Structure formats: structure tokens, C-alpha cells
Amino acid sequence: MELKDQVALITGGTAGIGLETARLFVREGASVVIAGRNPERGAKAVAELADGPGSARFAAADLGDLEDVRRLAEDAGPVDILVNNASLFPVATTVDQDVETFQRLFDTNVRGTFFLTAALAPAMLAKGAGSIVNVSTMAAVMGVPGASVYSATKAALASFTRTWAAEFSPSGVRVNSVAPGPTLTDGVVVEWGDGVAELGKSIPLRRTAGPAEIAESILFLASARSSFVTGANLAADGGATAI
Ligand SMILES: NC(=O)c1ccc[n+]([C@@H]2O[C@H](COP(=O)([O-])OP(=O)(O)OC[C@H]3O[C@@H](n4cnc5c(N)ncnc54)[C@H](OP(=O)(O)O)[C@@H]3O)[C@@H](O)[C@H]2O)c1
């Protein structure tokens, strides 16, 4: 088991890519805290993960609320692995973008992720070990119509990855990103509809990913298999950003 005795926090661990990541982590022996807003979804996910050999529990938190972020860090920490996966991804063209949603996207995807990491990093640094994985997107480096604000928040995350690697890795804490391409999750279908499948047809692998495929990349970066990798961005995008 690759994550035996490791404690991991996965934000947005109750659905999609986060839930598949939690499944792999539990399989590898980790004690996993999955965070999300909806307790019913959380309870259902915990029940799915109950077979071990690791364990899972749910912590309710809205990453867009700084008080929730502070409480989540206190409840989940100290951790060995932090997967910053939760995010909002509503579609809006630039000319149709409303200010409230713009703000909510930055509060959740950028501010919440930043202050959660800032709260959990000190214990990792004191221990001299740890792995942080930011879930970005191919859209951080590609122009995708309707995704201007979302993509900008994820470009911010990619920037955090580089800065945090520079700040934390001298103390033994690795920080990396995974940048998925179109991945068939319930959440993305609600927001993007057929657009996800269409995007999948246009990339070199000519299909969408399953969330479990992205989870494998996250496990790689979270585990000791990537022990000499820090500050990197792993494009799990079916070749989208290669062309
Ligand atoms: N699917 C794709 O095509 C794709 C492509 C590139 C990148 N990504 C990235 O991959 C990550 C996961 O995406 P996904 O498709 O798996 O999403 P998903 O199926 O919609 O799941 C999102 C998860 O995040 C939680 N969440 C959402 N807003 C939250 C908030 N404000 N506070 C706390 N938790 C919150 C959700 O639970 P609650 O709703 O209960 O809070 C859920 O557990 C995201 O960062 C996304 O940007 C996805």
C-alpha cells in the first residue's frame, strides 16, 4: 500500500475526480478526509469508501467561505497530503459575465485554496515532508470560449504551484499540479452539457477522460513514486495542449 499511515485531505472529494481520487487513496491505505458543501453527498461518498483498507470521513465546508476554510484546516489537519480539487466552473462568455459569479469563482477557486494551503502547510514544513496537488485544467493555458474567469482562476493555481514549490520544497514538501482535459463527471455535464463530449472529440485521444484516469495522475503526484518531482504540471489532457 503506497499511502499507508498517510493522512490526506481532498477538497471536493465527494464527487467526480475528487471521489475517484479518494477511492484510490483509501485503496492505498490512507486516512482520507473528503470535503464538500453537501452533507448528503458526503455521507453517500463515505459509505462508498467504507471497504478500506484505508478510511474516509466527510467534513462539510464551503471553500468560498473563509470561516469554513479555517474550520476545515483545523478539523482535517495535520495532513501529509493535500489535494486542492474543489472548484466552481460555471460557463459564461466574457460579455455576459456577472460580477457576483466572477467574485464567487475567485473566492472559491483561488482565495479558498490559498488560505487552506497556508493553514495546512506549517505542519507539513515542520515535519519536513508532504505533498500538495493542485487540480488545474488544460484551460489554464488554452483559450476555451465561455471559460475566461474559470481559466484565470486555474492559471492562478498553476502559479501557486510554482511559488509554493519554491517556498516549501526546501523543507521537503512537494507541490505539483494536474491539468485535466475534458473529463466526464456529473458536475461538468451539468455546467457544460454536450460541450464536454464535443471537446473530447477534438483532442488527440479523441475522447473524454473518466474521472478515475485523472485520479491516477493525482495519486502519482501525491505518492512517493514522484519523490523527485516538484513544481511540475502534469497535463492529463489526452494531448489537448500538445497540439
Ligand atoms: N471535469 C472536467 O472536465 C474537468 C476538466 C479540467 C479540470 N477539472 C477540475 O477538476 C476538479 C474536479 O472537477 P469535477 O468535474 O470532478 O467536479 P464535480 O464532479 O462537480 O465535483 C466537484 C466537487 O467539489 C465540491 N465543491 C464544489 N464547490 C465547492 C465549494 N465551494 N466548496 C467545497 N467543495 C465544493 C463538490 O461537492 P459539493 O457540491 O457538495 O460542494 C464536489 O465534491 C475541479 O477543480 C475542476 O475544475 C475538471
pTM over 0.95: yes
> Which residue's CA is the closest to the ligand 1 atom numbered 36?
12
Q: Which atom of ligand 1 is nearest to the CA of 86?
A: 24
Q: What's the pLDDT at 228?
A: 98
Q: Where are the beta strands (DSSP E) in 93-138?
A: 130-135
Cis omega (within 30 of 0) on the bond before 78? yes
Provide the 3-class DSSP secondary structure of residue 145.
coil
Of 101, 113, 187, whose CA–CA distance to 150 is shortest? 101
Active site residue 243: no
Q: Compute the distance between CA of residue 197 and CA of residue 192 in angstroms, rounded to an integer.
A: 9
List, for residues 87-102, the tens digit of each pLDDT value. 999 999 999 999 999 9
Catalytic residue among 150, 160, 168, 220: 150
- Alpha helix locations (H) across 77-112? 99-105
List, for residues 5-40, the tens digit of each pLDDT value. 999 999 999 999 999 999 999 999 999 999 999 999
> Could you tell me the distance, in angstroms and rounded to a whole number, from the CA of residue 164 to the centre of ligand 1?
22
Pocket test for ligand 1, best of 9, 14, 32, 133 (most atoms within 8 A of CB): 14
Task: Provide the grid cell at 63.
Answer: 471553500
> Could you tell me the distance, in angstroms and rounded to a whole number, from the CA of residue 209 to the centre of ligand 1?
15
Which neighbouring-strand residues pair with 81? 8, 131
Domains (range + CATH), the chain = 7-236 (3.40.50.720)
For the chain, what is the mean pLDDT? 97
List, for residues 165-212, the tens digit of each pLDDT value. 999 999 999 999 999 999 999 999 999 998 899 999 999 999 999 999
